[in-house]
Amino acid sequence: MQGHHLAELNIGRLIAPTDDPRVAEFMDALDRINGLGKRMPGFVWMMEGSGEPGTGNTDTKIGGDPQFVTNLTVWESVETLEAFVWNTVHRQFYERRAEWFEVLGKMHFVMWWVPQGHEPTLDEALGKLAHKQENGDTDHAFGWPYLKEAQAWKTHGCAQVAAE
């Protein structure tokens, strides 16, 4: 979309606290995966946590729950986000998400267009997610199927398992 970038919010709930051995492999990879994302062509912005090594955005709690993990990023285009999600080591962690995350009973992923230069807040992103939950895909908030440019998700699947 001309003059806009693509924002995305992904929420997951870990099966155990962040210092539990059951999620250690995921936690140990956060800095590497986030760092890779930040170096990808088309990356614009990421909501940062405390900056402590190995914590990612895990200190950004939803409803005070320390096991919720949020990922809020902005990308230049659908294609650049898809390249990171499906064509890097990120995909390996996505495919193993059920090892570390609970199955959530409702949607946990949303995308929307933001004006270039805008850094969305978590509250804004949660509002977009709520809108998508109530209304389905609209121009206001949507998932992969809504974007005609998005193709990789079709072959890599967004099965209803655990969050990313």
Regarding pTM above 0.75, the answer is yes
Q: All domains of the chain, ordered by start, with CATH?
A: 4-156 (3.30.70.100)
pLDDT recorded at residue 103 = 87
pLDDT recorded at residue 60 = 64
Residue environment code for 4-22, b if the CB has 16+ CB neighbours within 10 A, otherwise e: ebbbbbbbbbbbeebeeee
Query: Chunked in runs of 10, what are the mean pLDDT values of the chain (164 residues)?
Result: 94 92 94 93 87 57 83 95 92 91 86 97 95 96 89 61 40
pLDDT recorded at residue 164 = 40
pLDDT recorded at residue 148 = 84
73 to 4, 37, 67, 135: CA distances (angstroms): 14, 9, 20, 22
pLDDT recorded at residue 125 = 95
